Chains A and B, each alone.
Chain A
Amino acid sequence: MNGRIEYWVKIPIGPIHPALEEPEKFIITLDGERIINVDVKLGYNLRGLEWIAMRRNWIQVLYLAERICGICSFSHNHTYARAVEEMAGIEVPERAEYIRVVVGELERIHSHLLNLGVVAHTIGYDTVLHLSWLAREKVMDILEDIGGNRVNYAGNMIGGVRRDITEKHKRAILDMIYYYRQEIMPKIEEIFLYDPTVEARLRDSGVIPKRIAIEYSAQGPTARGSGIKKDVRYNEKLGVYPDLGVKPVTPKEFTGVIKGDVFDRMVVRVGELWQSMEIIERALDQMPEGKIKAFPKDNMIIFKLKKAEGEGIGRYEAPRGEVIHYVRAEPGRDGPAKWKMREPTFPNLFAVARALVGEQLADVPVAIASIDPCLSCTDRVAVIDAETGKKRILTEVDLLKESIKKTKEINPNIKAKPEKIGIGRCVL
């Protein structure tokens, strides 16, 4: 066995690589074109959001949550709002829930169209990339119309939503759905279900068997592509989703087989595009009249939350899988004492790294793109000492100490004292 090791090559994919949209690092051990081992290194994109959040109040964190990730910006602040509502026991008006559903599903459509293009790009099929991103412009326009912005629509508020959906929006959305059903979806189905190049490249590559998907707790389209019926909207009876008849989409309904490969994951995404359109139509249909906020004024929320105590968990099926937010409140504090999120990319990334062993190098970019990785959500910091090879996970305290040290280094005249942050072991 040792004789063979000499022929093994270690290839770094990342932190900067044309196949990756965000900095991450995969160290891939190769025997020719066959992959022997995949090592995932995270931590190139940490921005310390959890720490920043401890210095902000409950409302400000909403906007911070939105900036965790550019693509699922609505999912994150939706989940955060749910967590806070659960913690404080705030009832959300039904109309607000419906508006959340509509915007959330619009976001799912734009995220899935984006991912379809990215996967096509990684197999060198650039025409699909350009055309599917062109199709995506339509839903971006609608989102801009509703939220006032293409990416960060700032739709959510604790206890409701900030913007109503008017008749004008409703007509624009229905027009958009008509356009997608007539013009875009047949072409997308033709490419991702029947095109020979796509089938040759995506079939049987990056296979995540059902067992591994369960063991690694894969989420979202990655899990559903492996045949697990897992969808928070369905399993947890989230909000008003049960009334809208949401069901987990598996590739079985389209192709009749479940292999858990990249092809299946893309089939799930195509199926969810259809499903999202149906859900939006039903939601617009059933939407009741009424309030869109539990509190008419924002300062009432702060006032109520200042007295709140306890913890809350919000769950939501983001386009990439289940996202969980955890918040803890202390009475007298107008911001979260602890805010923690778990993103779908984290388990998916390790599941796909495990699935790549034994496959070809050519499959690495497409397999990674197929889980739609969102690393800006995922990153944590690990520091490795180059001399000893020891690894140390940095906590907030360490990071704060380091940054104070650095600030003093850059500007020795600075006088301000760092304020108290966090609780428990995080107190500096």
Chain B
Amino acid sequence: MNNIIYATLGLIALYLYVSFASLLWEGLDRKLVARMQRRVGPPLLQPFYDFLKLMSKESIIPKHANKFYELAPVLALAVSIALLAYTPMGFAPLFATKGDVIVFIYLLTLIGFIRVLGAISSGSPYAQIGAQREMIILVSREIPMMLGLFTILWRLNYLGVEKSFSLATFYQRNIWELGTPLALIGTFILLAVFLAWLASEIEVGFFDIPEAETEVAEGPMAEYSGRHLALFELSNALKMFVSASLVVAIFFPWGISAYIGLSGTAALIVDVLFHTFKVFVVLFISMSVFRAITGRLRITQAVQIFWLRLLPAAIIGSLILAIDLLGVIA
């Protein structure tokens, strides 16, 4: 019983911390990109101001919207909070169990799905097109990611872990421990796939297609305003942090608490802070730099990238890892 209470309190604390950290990153990202574009950029805390302002604004509901329109932002935020319980944050996920990776992927995809439902419910043609695009991207982007994730977890299983196919695995064994040259090659290929997937998950640069501002006027978000938009913005920020956390946990899971000899709560806090720093570094590469040096693709070109570039890359990376284990090539 106590365990559940502690876990729930931990989740609430985590939610508050991640909301702060992800909004702070958005501010940092805007500032960094602005500097890359020789602009001054908004203040660092601008996303917080935006959020508070939106929360206090009236929310306009279109005449043709149905009930799900108002429900969708709440659901999206609820799902993102639930997702935090399954996200590695410098320590094993709060509710880590055997096979929780499936719940993780399910919840991550569900956020996108709820956005689509909310957009379709709004009755706006722009949102409709944005929803179509989001759906197409959704089904294309998850497959290379899932393939890579499952292969790595399967491979780590052979190194002996407590809970197989759990995201907690990464804090016991990590992919770099394999050490063989072949495994290293496979890992680097998968790292590239994951960085590209991260960019498409948070929809920047090439993949800013569903919310294309100059084409479909923010797509799924076209009709949302006020509180509803604020909730969506927050759930998007959480999703961005969670997706980056996955990449960090897979490829850069090391903590620093053990090295500086901390334990207990202090170690947890230090690990979370260090994890946040790594997340910011990954997001800097996959988000800020990527968004500064690329433009948006057409939907057909993006789908081609997923199926003709990323999927084969994921297959090759996975095969290399499998060959390394099975020892087909000595």
Nearest-CB residue, chain B, relative to A33: B299
Q: Which residues does chain B contribute within 8 Å of A18, judged by CB atoms? A: 213-214, 217
Q: B270-313, CB under 8 A of A: which get 1 and which 0?
A: 00000000000000000000001111111111000000000000
Q: Do A125 and B295 have beta carbons less than 8 Å apart?
A: yes
Residues of B in contact (CB 8 Å), total: 29
From the candidates A9, A30, A362, name the one contacting B212 in the complex (CB within 8 A).
Answer: A362
Q: A17-40, CB under 8 A of B: which get 1 and which 0?
A: 111000000000010110000000
Write the nearest CB–CB distance from B123 to chain A, whole angstroms.
12
Q: Do B295 and A201 have beta carbons less than 8 Å apart?
A: yes
Q: Which residues does chain A contribute within 8 Å of B180, judged by CB atoms? A: none
> Main secondary structure on chain B at its contact with chain A?
helix
In Å, the complex CA distance between A355 and B216 comes to 20
B129 within 8 Å of A by Cβ? yes
Q: A360-373, CB under 8 A of B: which get 1 and which 0?
A: 11111100000000
Q: Do B125 and A197 have beta carbons less than 8 Å apart?
A: no
Write the nearest CB–CB distance from A288 to chain B, whole angstroms.
41
B227-272 interface (Cβ within 8 A of A): none
Nearest-CB residue, chain B, relative to A201: B295
In Å, the complex CA distance between A211 and B39 comes to 43
Write the nearest CB–CB distance from A157 to chain B, whole angstroms.
38
B175-219 interface (Cβ within 8 A of A): 205-206, 208-209, 212-217
Nearest-CB residue, chain B, relative to A359: B298
Residues of A in contact (CB 8 Å), total: 33
In Å, the complex CA distance between A386 and B125 comes to 22
Q: Do A363 and B295 have beta carbons less than 8 Å apart?
A: no
Q: Do B39 and A125 have beta carbons less than 8 Å apart?
A: no
Q: Do A198 and B295 have beta carbons less than 8 Å apart?
A: yes
Q: Do B298 and A32 have beta carbons less than 8 Å apart?
A: no
B64 within 8 Å of A by Cβ? no
A127 within 8 Å of B by Cβ? yes
Q: Which of A115-123, A169-177, A400-408 contacts B (4 or more CB under 8 A)?
A: A115-123
Q: Which residues does chain B contribute within 8 Å of A394, judged by CB atoms? A: none
Q: Do A201 and B212 have beta carbons less than 8 Å apart?
A: no
On whether A362 and B215 interact (CB within 8 A), knowing A127-B36, A130-B37, the answer reads yes
Among B36, B125, B206, B216: residue with most chain A CB under 10 A: B216
Q: Do B128 and A124 have beta carbons less than 8 Å apart?
A: no
Please count the residue pairs between chain A and chain B whose beta carbons lie under 8 angstroms apart in the complex. 78
Q: B37-50, CB under 8 A of A: which get 1 and which 0?
A: 11100000000000
Write the nearest CB–CB distance from B40 to chain A, whole angstroms.
11
On whether A131 and B296 interact (CB within 8 A), knowing A19-B214, A124-B213, A365-B214, the answer reads no
From the candidates A11, A122, A200, name the one contacting B129 in the complex (CB within 8 A).
Answer: A11
In Å, the complex CA distance between A131 and B34 comes to 11
B76-100 interface (Cβ within 8 A of A): none
Nearest-CB residue, chain B, relative to A126: B37
Q: Which residues does chain A contribute within 8 Å of B206, judged by CB atoms? A: 197
Q: Which residues does chain B contribute within 8 Å of A122, judged by CB atoms? A: 214-215
Nearest-CB residue, chain B, relative to A9: B125
In Å, the complex CA distance between A422 and B315 comes to 76
A134 within 8 Å of B by Cβ? yes
In Å, the complex CA distance between A360 and B132 comes to 14
In Å, the complex CA distance between A164 and B296 comes to 46
Q: Which residues does chain B contribute within 8 Å of A10, judged by CB atoms? A: 125
Q: Which residues does chain A contribute within 8 Å of B300, judged by CB atoms? A: 33, 360
A351-407 interface (Cβ within 8 A of B): 360-365
Write the nearest CB–CB distance from A209 to chain B, whole angstroms.
21
Write the nearest CB–CB distance from A138 to chain B, whole angstroms.
14
In Å, the complex CA distance between A131 and B297 comes to 21
Nearest-CB residue, chain B, relative to A134: B38
In Å, the complex CA distance between A197 and B292 comes to 12
Q: Which residues does chain B contribute within 8 Å of A12, judged by CB atoms? A: 125
Q: Which residues does chain B contribute within 8 Å of A124, judged by CB atoms? A: 205, 208, 212-214, 295-296
Among B212, B293, B301: residue with most chain A CB under 10 A: B212
Q: Which residues does chain A contribute within 8 Å of B129, judged by CB atoms? A: 9, 11, 30, 33, 361
Q: Which residues does chain A contribute within 8 Å of B212, judged by CB atoms? A: 124, 362
Q: Which residues does chain B contribute within 8 Å of A205, judged by CB atoms? A: 298
Among B128, B295, B298: residue with most chain A CB under 10 A: B295
On whether A201 and B125 interact (CB within 8 A), knowing A130-B38, A131-B37, A365-B215, the answer reads no
Q: Do B298 and A362 have beta carbons less than 8 Å apart?
A: yes
Q: Which residues does chain B contribute within 8 Å of A134, judged by CB atoms? A: 38
From the candidates A30, A125, A364, name the one contacting B294 in the complex (CB within 8 A).
Answer: A125
Q: Which residues does chain A contribute within 8 Å of B214, judged by CB atoms? A: 18-19, 121-124, 365
Q: A25-63, CB under 8 A of B: which get 1 and which 0?
A: 000001011000000000000000000000000000000
Nearest-CB residue, chain A, relative to B304: A200
In Å, the complex CA distance between A205 and B300 comes to 13
Write the nearest CB–CB distance from B232 to chain A, whole angstroms.
18
Nearest-CB residue, chain A, relative to B126: A11
Beyond known contacts A9-B129, A121-B214: 7 more, CB 8 A cutoff:
A11-B126, A18-B213, A123-B295, A127-B293, A360-B298, A361-B215, A362-B215
- Can you list 27 A-B contacts with CB-CB less than 8 angstroms, sorted by A residue number? A9-B128, A9-B129, A10-B125, A11-B125, A17-B217, A18-B213, A32-B132, A33-B299, A33-B300, A120-B295, A122-B215, A123-B295, A124-B205, A124-B208, A125-B296, A127-B36, A127-B293, A128-B295, A130-B39, A197-B297, A201-B295, A360-B299, A361-B129, A361-B216, A362-B215, A362-B299, A365-B214
